[in-house]
Amino acid sequence: MENLIELEKNYFKFRRDRQFIKEFNYYLTNYVGRPTPLYFAENLSRKYKCRIYLKREDLCHTGAHKINNCIGQALLAKRMGKKRIVAETGAGQHGVATATACSLLGLECVIYMGEKDYERQSPNQLKMRILGAKVVKVSSGSKTLKDAINEAIRDWVTNVQITHYLIGSVVGPHPYPIMVRDFQSIIGKEVKDQILKIEKKLPDILIACVGGGSNSIGLFYPFIEEKEVRMIGVEGGGIGSNPGEHSATLNYGTPGVLHGSYSYLLQDSEGQVMPTHSVSAGLDYPGVGPELSYLKDIGRIHFDVVKDEEALEAFFEISRLEGIIPALESSHALAYLKRISHEIKGKLIVINLSGRGDKDIEIIRKFVKEGKIE
């Protein structure tokens, strides 16, 4: 608890510190490559008879939005005098982004990765090692993201004096959910500026995928007060709605406590956390950010599910229509277009393309081999 109090104190201090903000923005511009383009997807728009913009977070350095938060937290860790970073990773995107920020800022880096993810996202674990990080395979529990978080937290509480835990999503104990949200809300801020400049009005609909919720709240947060903007969060529907077949926490979960926050949770009648499934490792998490849970309860954001096969279909659709290979996570958000195609004619839509799909090539190869896709 003392470490969280220390972190809260430091974060609240530095988020108002001019020098800190200047340095953060410097790296976002010159290292990450921000602002990322808001791209008018002409072919997709023609197909769905509306105006679709893609927020190109896939063009960030390291290939996903995760780096925004990593730069922010790594800079904070340095100011707090921490020499060592631990982090969890599911798809490997957060792990790669953390390893990258650590190389840049000269911090020791240890990444925990579930054994199941280690196998299915092998290019990313290799990248982390190239970047000088130590990658630890986690074989406890369900061998995925939640267990990697458990192990990262255990490491953190053991080595707390020299270590910062760089959590990758808007989950975990306070102040993590608000800190990660703040670092990621650069996405929504840019979208707001860009769309007003190009279209001279706010979007009708925002769509983002939701695992823990960092890319979605990053996009949504600056629009929360804009009541006329509809927001849709898309969860991993996996292969069905039975327990263990999906990772759709906000759709099928009930309130509970995991990793230090009270939020929706996939759990059984005994309060044990349930196994999850999603074709996309980055959505494969039984919890979700507490702020998103609240925004669901007050009805501000609508949450729905997209199944594995729908996401795969969208993966190919965007690749072939726009020449952009999206991450399987982001493909869930893109797949939602088809679902609402009957009601979006003429609308202005922004979809967060949170990451690129290179890391998913092995999964796609498997599906091709099994004859599930052409």
Partner 1 sequence: MSEIENRFKLILNENRKAFIPYFTAFYPSPELFRELIRIADRTGADFIEIGLPFSDPLADGKTIQFSSQWVLEKGFSLSGLLKELYYLKKEIKASLILMSYLNPLLKRGIKSLAKELKECGVDGIVIPDLPFEESIYINEIFKSNDIDLIYLIAPTSSEQRISQIDRWARGFIYLVSIIGVTGMRENLPNYLNEYVRRVKNLISKPLCIGFGISNPNQARRIAQISDGVIVGSALMNLIKENLNEKNLLDKFQKFIQELRRSV
Residue 365: CB atoms within 10 Å: 10
Structure tokens at 336: 């939602």
b/e 235-246 (16+ beta carbons within 10 angstroms → b): bbbbeeeeeebb
| Binding mask of the shown chain, residues 85 to 124, with x at each position contacting partner 1 by CB under 8 A | ----------------------------------------
| Binding mask of the shown chain, residues 250 to 279, with x at each position contacting partner 1 by CB under 8 A | ------xxxxx----x-x-xxxxx------
Return the closest-CA partner of residue 97 out of 82, 79, 109.
Answer: 109
Helices (H), the chain: 2-14, 18-27, 42-48, 66-79, 93-105, 115-120, 122-130, 145-158, 176-184, 186-199, 214-220, 249-252, 290-297, 308-322, 328-339, 361-369
Q: Using the rule CB under 8 A, is 162 a contact of partner 1?
A: no
At closest approach, how far in Å is the CB of 57 from partner 1?
A: 30
At closest approach, how far in Å is the CB of 125 from partner 1?
A: 22
Q: Using the rule CB under 8 A, is 33 a contact of partner 1?
A: no
Return the closest-CA partner of residue 258 out of 324, 173, 156.
Answer: 173
Residue closer to partner 1 by CB (options 225, 270) is: 270
Q: Using the rule CB under 8 A, is 2 a contact of partner 1?
A: yes
Question: Binding-site residue total for partner 1 (CB under 8 A)?
Answer: 27
Respond yes or no: is residue 354 known to be catalytic.
yes
Respond yes or no: is residue 362 known to be catalytic.
no
**Strand partners for 352:** 55
Q: Using the rule CB under 8 A, is 141 a contact of partner 1?
A: yes
**Quick one: which of 10, 150, 214, 354 contacts partner 1 (CB under 8 A)?**
150
Is residue 274 classed as helix, strand or coil in its secondary structure?
Answer: coil
Q: Using the rule CB under 8 A, is 143 a contact of partner 1?
A: no
Binding residues (CB under 8 A) for partner 1: these are: 1-3, 140-141, 146-147, 150, 153-154, 157-161, 256-260, 265, 267, 269-273
**Residues assigned a catalytic role:** 66, 88, 354
